[in-house]
Structure formats: structure tokens, C-alpha cells
Amino acid sequence: MTATRPATDRPGETTLDHLLTVLAAPAELLSDPDGQVRPEGAQGFYVGDTRYCNRLEIDVQGVDLQFAAAGLDGAGRASFEGELPGVRVRRERRIADRTAVEEITLHNSGSAPVELRLVLRARSDLSATPVVKSGAPLSEVPPTVHGGEIRWSRHDVAASLTTAPAPGEIDTDGPDAVLSWPLRLTPDARWALQVVLTPSPAGPEDFRTADPLEWRLDERAVGGPRGDLVQRSLADLDGLLLADPIDPADRFAAAGSPWFCTLFGRDSLWTARMMLPMSTTLAGGTLRVLARRQGRVSNPRGEEEPGKIIHEFRPNGLQAGGLDLPPSYYGTVDATPLWCCLLHDAWQAGLPEAEVAALLPNLEAALGWIKRTAGDYGFLSYRRSSGSGLANQGWKDSPGAVRWADGTIAAQPLALCEVQGYAYAAARGGAAVLAAFDRPGADEWRQWADRLAALFRATYWIDDPDGRYPAIALDGHGRAVTGPASNMAHLLTTGILDPDEAQLVADRLARPDLDGGRGLRTLSSTNGGYDPLTYHRGSVWPHDTAIAVLGLAGVGRHEVARSLGEGLVAAAGDFADRLPELYAEIDGEAVSYPTACRPQAWAAAGAIAVVSYLDAGVVPAWATPQ
């Protein structure tokens, strides 16, 4: 198991690293490893952006049972075993259809009758998930008893708890509902209790639980030495799938549990892209879900613009941690070119032409946004238009994520290097799609891409004693920001680099300041702002490492790809094969980042992609620049 240290950039935030998650998005239940849901931190039953229960503890004969986890079954089931003198207790949990169901079984394994009392304590705060994450003080909701049912309600949010059989006694104790069953068990007798937690009904805009996908996997990856990692990651991806209420046949991956269990444009696009060798169905659904929510008007508060792909959707918006976001928030510079890339890549991977054709107006709108945003400057850059939105709008979106080599924060507006690569690939791929479907503009977009590549080549490269490399960004004064970072790895797949430049990037990624033995550091350890226990200033993100591994393989640098890939797989073992959103690498060991989501969709997809490369030689077509 990994070591745990406090995150240095998230003081006061609620931690997750010791918790066990069982989920079928949008529902998820987080507990201590023994299965008890204690009124501490992030523990509880969530659906969408609300925590509906934050205590679900059982005791027998006044003993707070210490269960041993018997293990996860897929993503949506878990079981726990406990024992008293002569009595075995089994607790089985499953999440499905927006509900949590607990089956508790007592078995008298002794030779004499036993009399005992089982007590269940339940509590709810009906808090918004982002508020739970922030660590802000929370107020409990008093329970009310309606026959054998416990209810909690506040404003238009409610939860209920029912049991079968009904309890012998129901009482309240401050914020807790206390249910008890006096029992007498003869030798070898079993007694079973079912507990059901039900949230408020789904709203018309709420995403639904999705059916699992059929994945096409290479047997060498599934049956190889890292097969357990592949199976765990596939189960978590299935658990994170959501369906669009507008058309439930369209599925996409929620970003991660519990903080981001909703639609995030960038995350869902990268997840679908990394899984293209295994399924085009996820890509098609993701493209359509995002196309339905593509920007249509200019709205500074939500940072919406015509043609722009959404960053995140939360039916109730987000008000926490210094952010105040409307339900549909568009503060991202990279989701739009990534959408174009996925459409091209999915078409090349076999997405039916009718599905591609239906999305051509969205492609043209997205390309139009890219051209307008780049403007005369020539590069895609960002500066938030809302004072309550995200300060950084690339994938490294935490404050202070982009730094000069001495650790100084780079001034906005910022033009991230990888975003220029995405824009180049979007223009080239978009041109290919337009030409194939007899739409105008293909030649214009090829020329636009060529100009961008030439401008990038003349502007971004930094000379360094350890080798030339592309700057992480251009700052608000047009200066190339010094200091190696993982962003350059994303360029390898885009085609914006020539073959010699790709080799220079590979050489730089191979150095120990970026490859510390457990994946790719987000920021060089030589940077004055380096801190591996921060969100983006030296931590390791599995999806980031996976993109680097695939890009390195695509340009023929297999020795560097294998080094980073093997490091990621080694780290996965430290997390019981359930890779988190991010972690720290310190002295060659993986260290838990305490607020990281686990599971996280693009971490799971990245694990599958890396193992498929290491054990089966699978390199997606999009990872090989044309």
C-alpha cells in the first residue's frame, strides 16, 4: 500500500486516499475499508452532485464491528466479513439504478442459541459534493420517521432509508436515525437484513446510469502478467459510464469519483480516444453528447462561445472553493480541438460514416471557434472571461500550474504548447473529414495547419544545456516560458513536430528530472516551483503518462515509452490496480495524493492503453503522426 502525506496545495480539503469506492455512476458509495460509513470526511452515498447519506454504521451487541474487506466485484459491488464469538457477519453492498443496497447476514456458527441486538445508525447532511470537497463546515439534516421509513429533506432534495424486515425499534439521537433488531439465533441459523438508500428522483437534465460497453481487447493484454490491472480498469470504466437523458443510447465516461462524477469535455474525450482500439461506440456517444451541448451564444459568465465544446456540466452549478460556475461551463481551451481530433480518429477507426456525417455541422462550428480564437495572433490562448471561473484552462487547470524555470508563475494570457498541437491535429484531421464528405474548406485548413506549425517552430523552442525542448507555453508577453514540463509529450502524437524535433522531445522525456521511475512528472524536478505533493507541479498523472507512452511508441522511441509505461504499471500495484487521478513520486516510490479521485476515467483508460502497448504492442493509429 502507498504511503500518505498531506497535499501541500490543498489545505483543508477532504481526503479520499484511504476510502473504498463502490459505484455505478451517477451513484457511488465511499466508506472506510471495513465497509462502515462513518460521519467523517468524504464518506457517504452520493448521486450526482449531492451526498444523500454520510453515516451507515452497524454494530452488534454494542460492538463496533471491524470488518475485513472480502473484495470488490466489478465496480458496483463489495463484500465485508466480520465475526463475533460464535456469530459471523457478512455485509454485501451494491450500487445500481441510483440506489445503494446493503445485505447484512448474521450466521450463528456456534452450537448454542444466541441472543443479540443489531443496531444501524444512519445520518444525512444532503450536502453538495463540491462543498464536501472544500472541507467547509456542514450542517446535518434531522431525520424524520414515517412508519418504518427514515426520511431526510431540505429544500427540494430528499433521501429515504427503508429496511426489510422492519426494525423492532426506531429512535433518533441528535442527527442520527437509530434502528435496532433484537434477535435470537439457533445453532446454524441465519438472519438477513436489507437496507435500501434512495435519493430524490432524477431531474430531466440529470445523466443516467449507462449499460456496460462491449470492449474488444487483445488477449495478450487481458491474459498477460498485467491482466488484473486491465480487468480492474475496465470495471471502473464501466462503473463511470453515464447515459445522456436526451438519448440514453449515447454513453460517455464521467471524469471521476466522487468530485467529478459528471460530464467533463476534456476528460471524456481523452478517455474515448485512448479506448478507440477497444471501442468506437464510446467515441460516438461522447462526440454526440458534447455536440448537443456545443456553445451557441456568447456568455461571459459561463465562458460559452459559438462552436466551443463544454468543459463541465453540473445541473446545480458549482459554488465552492472560490469558484461560482453556472450549470454549463465552457472554461477550457483544449476540449474543442480535442473534439475535432476524436471525430477524425473515430472515423479512421471505423465509426460508421452516417454517424460522422451527422456531426459535420458541429465539426465546422468547432473549427470556426479555433480560427476565431487564434485570430491574428496565430495561437490558441486563454484568459478567463469570468472572475469566478477557472484561472487556468488547459488540463493543468490549478492556480499557478504554469511556471517559469525559477518557479515564477507565468502571466496570462497563456498559449499552452500542447493546445497548439491539438489545434494542428484538429485542422489536419478536420480537413481530411471535410474532403472525404465533399464539404468545402479542406485546403484552407491544411494551409492553416502549415502556418501554425511554422509559427510554432519559430516561437516555442528553448535552448538548454540538457537539450532543446518546446516551452510549456507562451506567456502574456509572447515569451516562451522556460522549464521542462510534461506538456511537451502531448505534441508527439499531433504531427506538429518534424521527426528530428520528436526525437529531441523523446530525449528530454527520458531524463530523470521527468522520469522518476513511477511515471512522468508533470513538472521537472529542477523547476523552482517543483513540489510532487501538489496538483500539477511535479505530481504524476496516469493519463498524462499514458499519452506520453503512446506518443513515444508512435515515433519509435520504445525504450523511453517502456520505461515510463513500466513505471506506471509499478505504481498501479501500489494502489491495488485502481490507479488514482494523480499521485506523487518521491524517491522512486508512489505516494498517495490525498484528495485524488479514485477511480478516474482517463487514469483507467490510460492503464488499459499502456498495458495493451507493453504486453500486446497495441499503438492507436492517432498516436503515430502522419
Q: List pLDDT tens digits, range 118-149.
A: 999 999 999 999 999 999 889 999 999 998 89
For the segment 220-234, what is each residue's pLDDT rounded down to a tens digit?
Answer: 999 988 999 999 999
**Residue 328 near residue 293, CB atoms below 8 Å:** yes
* DSSP strand pairing (50-53 vs 44-47): antiparallel
One-character DSSP codes across 7-38: -TT-TTPPP-TT-EEEEETTEEEEE-TTS-B-
* Residue ranges matching CATH 2.70.98.40 in the chain: 3-199
The pLDDT of 547-553, averaged and rounded, is 99
Confidence of residue 359 (pLDDT cuts 50, 70, 90): very high
Confidence grade of residue 175 (pLDDT, cut at 50, 70, 90): very high
User: Rounded to an integer, what is the distance from CA 273 to the centroid of its chain?
Assistant: 14
Are 535 and 522 a contacting pair, CB within 8 Å? no
Residue 1 pLDDT > 60, yes or no? no
Helix (H) / strand (E) containing 533: none
Q: Identify which of 111-120, 376-385, 599-608 has the greatest average pLDDT.
A: 599-608
Nearest to 195 by CA among 106, 91, 117: 91
User: Would you tell me how many other CB atoms lie within 10 Å of the CB of residue 48?
Assistant: 25
- Cα–chain-centroid distance for residue 130? 15
| Residues 334, 330: Cα–Cα separation, whole Å | 10
Side-chain half-sphere exposure of 72, counting CA atoms within 13 A? 25
Query: Angle at the Cα of 489 (from 484 to 494), degrees rounded to 5?
Result: 135
Q: How far is CA 613 from the centre of its chain?
A: 22
The domain at 3-199 falls in which architecture?
Answer: Distorted Sandwich (2.70)
* Confidence at 66, pLDDT banded by 50, 70, 90: confident
Distance CA 626, CA 492 (A): 11
The pLDDT assigned to 384 comes to 77
> Which residues, listed in sequence order, are joined to residue 195 by a DSSP beta bridge?
102, 163
- Segments of the chain assigned to CATH 1.50.10.10: 211-623
What pLDDT, on a 0 to 100 scale, did the predictor assign at position 99? 97
d(CA 268, CA 247): 17
Is the four-CA dihedral 391, 396, 399, 405 of positive or negative sign? negative
Residue 224 is predicted with a pLDDT of: 87
Residues in the chain: 626
CA dihedral 455, 457, 459, 465 (to 10 degrees): 180
First to last CA, the chain: 42
Question: How does the average pLDDT of the chain come out, rounded?
Answer: 95
Q: Mapping DSSP to helix (H, G, I), strand (E, B) and coil, where does residue 305 land?
A: coil
pLDDT for position 4: 61
Residue 540, pLDDT score: 98
Quote the CA–CA distance of 276 and 561 in Å, as a whole number.
Answer: 19
Q: Which three cell numbers stand for residue 116?
A: 443479540
Question: Nearest Cα to 175, choosing from 118, 126, 129?
Answer: 126
In Å, what is the CA distance from 431 to each residue of 350, 421, 454?
A: 18, 15, 18
pTM, to two decimals: 0.96
CB distance 67 to 81 below 8 Å = yes
What whole-number distance in Å separates Cα of residue 584 and Cα of residue 7? 9
Phi, psi for 384 (deg, rounded to 5): -60, 140
Q: Which amino acid is at 444?
A: E
At position 122, the amino acid (one-letter code) is A
Confidence of residue 322 (pLDDT cuts 50, 70, 90): confident
Rounded to an integer, what distance in angstroms lies between the CA atom of residue 389 and that of residue 374?
21
Cα distance between residue 563 and residue 150, in whole Å: 54
Task: Determine which helix (DSSP H) or strand (DSSP E) holds 216, and give its type and residue range.
Answer: none
Q: Which amino acid is at 342?
A: L
Question: What phi, psi does 566 have (nearest 5°)?
Answer: -65, -35
Confidence of residue 3 (pLDDT cuts 50, 70, 90): low
Query: Could you report the per-residue pLDDT of 389-426, keeping only the tens digit for each?
Result: 898 999 999 999 999 999 999 999 999 999 999 999 99
Per-residue confidence band for 383, with pLDDT thresholds at 50, 70 and 90 = confident
- What pLDDT does residue 68 have? 80
Task: Give residue 126's pLDDT.
Answer: 97
Q: Name the more confident of 122 and 218.
A: 122
Burial of 552: CB neighbours in 10 Å, binned 0-12, 13-18, 19+: buried
pLDDT at 418: 99
| Domain formed by 211-623, architecture | Alpha/alpha barrel (1.50)
Q: Please give the average per-residue pLDDT across 595-617, as a whole number.
A: 98
Instruction: Give the model confidence (pLDDT) of 22-53 as tens digits.
Output: 999 999 999 999 999 999 999 999 999 999 99
Give residues with Cβ within 8 angstroms of 528, minimum separation 6: 403, 404, 405, 406, 407, 408
Question: What pLDDT digit, counting tens, does each position of 237-272 carry?
Answer: 999 999 999 999 999 999 999 999 999 999 999 999
Residue 212: the pLDDT is: 93
Q: How far is CA 87 from CA 115, 181, 194, 200, in A?
A: 10, 15, 18, 36
